[in-house]
Structure 1
Amino acid sequence: MTAGFSGAFPAIPDRNRLNFSWLLKLRWAQIAGQVATVIGVEWFLTAFIVHFLRRVTAALAQRELAEANERALRQERLASLATMSAGAAHELSTPLGTIAVVAKELERALVRQGDQLLIEDAQLIREQVSRCRGIKQSVCAYVVATALSLLAGCSGGMISSVPPSLFEFTNVVPYDGDGTGGWKVAQVVIILARLSAILPENSFCHIEVGVPEVNRKGPVSTAYAQRSSARSADAAGREVLRERLPTAMLCRRFRTAMERILRGDIPGASVGTFTRDDIPRREFP
């Protein structure tokens, strides 16, 4: 006799499918762990880089502040040095110029009298005055060289503001009262300095400024001629020093530029090198 069965039997789990599900979950867990690890490493590296950049920025800022303070100190020392040299040059130039003019006039008078012994004494005075001027120029050159060493690493040119009183005009051709005419002259020695760590140099420029007593615009007062000459010297110095010319050409270019600028204020004015030896000479700085 055969027995029959009826009803639903529970499904037998598929072990392969079960193992695949767990493997998939495990794989996703591994991937999630790896992603978390990568994110953590990236966050750590980002934090480290930010911290490093902050420290570098702070160090650079501190270094720049120290360099700025050093530059300010150098500028202060240079200003004091320039002020002292300009004051000393001014104090020495006036009496030396006066002695040179008086000695020249004395020599001329003695030549007319024929006193050879006193003529030699007058010539000796002029020679000593010239020697003193040379020593003073050497001192000024040393001052400029010291200033250049203080500004090592800087570049550019230097000419301090020229005072109008530097130009002591002397009448050499009196005005006869008819139209334009008359002539007055001033002689100065101006030091042009180029500040450079590679090629520092300075030039002693002999400047003779001549202006008419009366031009087509009218009378030219000495005070106006002094102010115009000082402004022209300042402007010419700034213009020429930017061109970085060789020393041999620097003074020639300076005189040309100064004459062009000065003629804009005083038509008929001229700027050249020394042509007379009976004019008081001033030096700057």
Structure 2
Amino acid sequence: MKIQLCWWLVIVFLFIGILNATTESISAELSYNIFQQDFDFFQKTLRESHPNIYANLPEPEFNKQVNLIIEELATETDTLHFIAKLKQFSHLLGDAHTGPFYYQKETLFYPIAVCWLNDSWYINGTMKELADNIGSKIVSINGKDAEEFMSTLMTLCGGENIYWFRECAGDVMRYSSNLNLLDLAVEDNALHLVVEKEGQKKELILKEVENCNWSIVSFSDLTQYKMVNYWGKALTADDIYYLQFNHFSDTKSDNSKDEFSNWKSFLVQTFSTIDSLKLHNLVI
């Protein structure tokens, strides 16, 4: 009888504990502000509808990030900062098709194009009046180390790999609204760069413009567009095979063996290289 009573007490206490935990969880959700509610809906929808949602962000880390953002949003009052947090959370998921769509018509932009080359950021385009700065290495942007600044901008980009993030960050940097999302803008709303060329450093200040006459130089970077249908390269240090697909002009043939022969030959060579080097990632 005593043993049965003890078991009943254990069950009752367990039930009370579960009930309290559930009640606390519901109470917490009911007390969420509008940003917390929206984010909670967003992350729950991802769990329910996104295939293999934990592929790049394991569930424990996913949960950790959710709790962290919910906590940060408790005192958030700025819509732009909320959008930034949504984008940054989506960035962690590691795919290009998931994330909030945010559109703001931009009439002004910073007249600069940048690229990643030899482990640094360089200017490869600007207005013709400033063309002598093309080829300059960027040391800092708005008082921050250039790589740190650009890496922060990458958190607004959805994608699967660092090569795409670098491409995306260059576009993101041209609009002050993106800098404001991440508190990277400065008081005068200009872009303040310290650049280095031929051993000489100088400050370059770019104001927003409505249009400009561009001067752009194509540098030979890995992801630089090439005027060919498709090409690829093994990056063994990164365990990646990079494939750039630009056009497809192979035509059908009356002989099925010759049909798309160039494309087939390219694929055979590509996957033979991937297999021989035991690469695990294909970036297209």
Q: Same fold by TM-score, threshold 0.5 exceeded?
A: no
Taking structure 1 as the reference length, what is the TM-score of the superposition? 0.28
> Normalized per residue, which structure has more helix?
1
Q: Which has the higher contact order (CA 8 A, sep 6+)?
A: 1
